[in-house]
Structures are given as structure tokens and as C-alpha cells.
Amino acid sequence: MLAEITETTPQDAAHTAADLLNDLEPATPPILLHGEDATAWPMLHLAASLHLDTRIGLEDVLHLPDGTPAQNNAALIHTAREAIQHTRKANPQRS
């Protein structure tokens, strides 16, 4: 199930994501959570912390988290993998 957050600020996106995920809580299919532009990286971190599926690519964001332009999709994916691993280590999945 795609949970695409289209809010334009990270704070608004976080509130919208929380409300949407609360509404979807009884859902059993995997949920893919992602944002766009300024909310792409915050939503990636939120998805990782909740152990949800996520995505990243030039279709979603053109910059790395530090604001530098991404040279290509590979740069985004590499950075996203590192961020997901770091976030999940800090937020182990609960049984």
C-alpha cells in the first residue's frame, strides 16, 4: 500500500504521516511510506524507524540530505541505504 505524503514542509508531513499511518494501522499489506522534495528524507527516516518500506530517487528528490545536488539515482540510493541502516539500528523492531 502506497502512503505518499505530499505536504511541503517536514513538520506538516510528519503530522500527515502520523494521521495516515494511524488510519492504516489495521491494514495488513506492507506499507510504502515516502515523501517528495523537502519531505523525502524526513519520510525516509520515519519509514525506517517504523520498519516500513520506503523509496527514494530523482523522481522524489534532487538533493542529498545535506542539500547538495544528487549526481544520480545511485548517490541517492547509497545515502538512503546508510540512513536506513543507521535509523534502524537506533530503532530496533519490536516483537
Digits of tens for pLDDT over the chain (95 positions)? 899 999 999 999 999 999 999 998 877 779 999 999 999 999 999 999 999 999 999 999 999 999 999 999 999 999 999 999 999 999 887 64
* Residue 95 forms part of a structural domain: no
Indicate whether 76 belongs to any domain.
Answer: yes
Number of domains composing the chain: 1
What pLDDT sits at residue 95?
45
Task: Of 90, 93, 4, give the one whose Cα is nearest residue 45.
Answer: 90
Q: How far apart are CA 32 and CA 55, in angstroms?
A: 7
Residue 16: closest CA among 29, 4, 30: 4
Does residue 62 form part of some domain? Answer: yes
The structure's pTM equals 0.86
Question: Contact, 21 vs 54, CB < 8 A?
Answer: no
> In sequence order, what are the residues at sequence separation of 6 or more whose Cβ sits closer than 8 angstroms to the Cβ of residue 55?
32, 34
